[in-house]
Chain A
Amino acid sequence: MESSKVDMYIMANAKYFPSVQINMIRERLIQLDDSKWAVVQSVPLKDPTTTLIISLLAGGLGIDRFFLGDVGLGIAKLLTCGGMGIWTIVDWFSIQKATREKNLEKLQPFLY
Chain B
Amino acid sequence: MQTRSKLYLALLFACFVSYCWVFYSMKSDNLDNEAASVCIIKNVTGAPCPSCGSTRSLIMLLDGSPKEAFMLNPLGFLAAWVMFFIPCWIFFDVIMGKETLVNVYKWAIRFLKKPPIAIGFGLLVAANWIWNIAKGL
Please report A residues at the B interface, Cβ cutoff 8 Å. Answer: 59-61, 71-72, 75-76, 78-82, 84-86, 88-89
CB of B125 within 8 A of chain A?
Answer: yes
Interface SS of chain B: helix
Interface SS of chain A: helix
Complex: how many Å from CA A51 to CA B1?
Answer: 26
User: Which chain A residue lies CB-closest to B106?
Assistant: A72
Q: Please, what's the 1-or-0 string for B17-54, where 1 marks a CB less than 8 Å from any CB in chain A?
A: 11001000000000000000011111100000111101
Complex: how many Å from CA A79 to CA B57?
Answer: 13
Q: How far is the CB of A65 from chain B (nearest CB, A)?
A: 12
| CB neighbours of A81 from chain B (8 A) | 38-42, 49, 51-52, 54
Q: How far is the CB of A100 from chain B (nearest CB, A)?
A: 19
Contact A60 B21 (CB under 8 A): no
Complex: how many Å from CA A89 to CA B51?
Answer: 17
Contact A61 B78 (CB under 8 A): no
Q: A78-B50, A79-B78 are in contact. Are A60 and B105 (CB under 8 A)?
A: no
Contacts across chains A and B counted by CB atoms under 8 Å:
53
Complex: how many Å from CA A88 to CA B44?
Answer: 13
Complex: how many Å from CA A98 to CA B51?
Answer: 25
Q: A61-B41, A82-B41 are in contact. Are A72 and B50 (CB under 8 A)?
A: no
**Sorted from nearest, which 4 A-B pairs have the closest CB atoms?**
A81-B39, A84-B38, A60-B41, A85-B38
| CB neighbours of A85 from chain B (8 A) | 38-40, 43
| CB neighbours of B49 from chain A (8 A) | 60-61, 81-82
Q: How far is the CB of A41 from chain B (nearest CB, A)?
A: 25
Q: How far is the CB of A19 from chain B (nearest CB, A)?
A: 24
Contact B113 A71 (CB under 8 A): yes
Q: How far is the CB of B83 from chain A (nearest CB, A)?
A: 11
| 11 chain-A/chain-B pairs, Cβ below 8 angstroms | A60-B39, A60-B49, A61-B50, A75-B112, A80-B51, A80-B54, A81-B39, A81-B40, A81-B42, A84-B39, A85-B43
Contact A88 B40 (CB under 8 A): yes
Complex: how many Å from CA A49 to CA B41?
Answer: 21
CB of B14 within 8 A of chain A?
Answer: yes
